[in-house]
Amino acid sequence: MSSIPVLEIFGPTIQGEGMVVGRKTMFVRTAGCDYRCSWCDSAFTWDGSAKDDIRKLSAEDIYEELYTIGGDKFDHVTVSGGNPALLKDMGILVDLLHDKGCEVALETQGSRYQEWFTKIDDLTLSPKPPSSGMETNWVKLDGILHELEQAGRVDKASLKVVVFDEADLEYAKDVHARYPHVDFFLQVGNDDTEEQNDEVLMYKLLKKYEWLIERTMESDALNRVRVLPQVHALLWGNRRGV
């Protein structure tokens, strides 16, 4: 039986980020990450603070809970984390969700490949810029994109770089230039993940969005791109489970 470490199952809500922004979806958030981004907005998945809340669930358990919460009001499930790409057994859940008539999206940083990536309907690869403190393994990322290419699945994938500063913007340009044929998203970085006042956060994030749009418009290296905020952060702040 498959065993997947789960921290959150929630929805339906909108996908707040990237290639399918606005799509009605359920979320499954797995525990554990091979990275430790300085600004991670889901640090509870790996910093030990929620370790007592981790549940080892089978794919069937997960679908049952999705159905209990969402009923017939969803046909799309987003798997995020942590890094769900650490989990070989995730392929079993992907197959089950497809059998149930759901599309499946994945959020991962592109540090690990799994064979089940080629079954994902909306695959977001989010390599990490300098501000994260993480180092991109380009060999791995090249390998993932090579596998997707071989499987004819590049059109199901996108790259999404979170930007906090000028160095991140330069990194984003490098990523886009390396994979010019892959749909590319620039995302506003939230460096206030502790802020509890939604209005204060919304204003700060919109100002950052404006800055990111301006810098992107000025660049001749960022043309076939989309610039987006985290819509869920604008609407619901730093709350979990939305």
Ligand X SMILES: C[S@@+](CC[C@H](N)C(=O)[O-])C[C@H]1O[C@@H](n2cnc3c(N)ncnc32)[C@H](O)[C@@H]1O
130 is in an annotated binding site: no
As measured in angstroms, the least distance from the Cβ of 72 to ligand X is 27
Q: Taking the C-alpha atoms of 35, 38, 43 and 48 in order, what is their torsion angle to the nearest 10 degrees?
A: 80
Q: Partners of 29 in the beta sheet?
A: 8, 80
- Is residue 17 involved in binding ligand 2KA (CB under 6 A)? yes
| Nearer of residues 11 and 189 to ligand X, judged by Cβ | 189
Residue 5: which H helix or E strand, with range? strand 4-14
Binds 195: which of ligand SF4, Mg ion, ligand 2KA, none (CB < 5-8 Å by kind): none
58 is in an annotated binding site: no
Q: Which of residues 106-165 bind ligand X (CB under 6 A)?
A: 107-109, 126, 160, 162
15 is in an annotated binding site: yes
| Nearer of residues 108 and 118 to ligand X, judged by Cβ | 108
Q: Taking the C-alpha atoms of 14, 85, 154 and 25 in order, what is their torsion angle to the nearest 10 degrees?
A: -10
129 is in an annotated binding site: no
Burial of 85 (0-12, 13-18, 19+ CB in 10 A): buried
Binds 8: which of ligand SF4, ligand 2KA, ligand X, none (CB < 5-8 Å by kind): none
Residues 102/121, Cβ–Cβ less than 8 Å: no
Contact pattern for Mg ion over residues 170 through 189, marking x by CB under 5 A: --------------------
**Bridge pairing between strands 4-14 and 122-125:** unpaired
Tokens matching residue 103: 């599309």
**Bridge pairing between strands 4-14 and 55-57:** antiparallel
219 is in an annotated binding site: no
Q: Which of residues 61-80 bind ligand X (CB under 6 A)?
A: 80
Give the interface with ligand 2KA as residue ranges (CB under 6 A): 13-17, 27, 42, 80, 107, 232, 242
Binding residue numbers: 14-16, 29, 33, 37, 39-42, 80, 82, 126-128
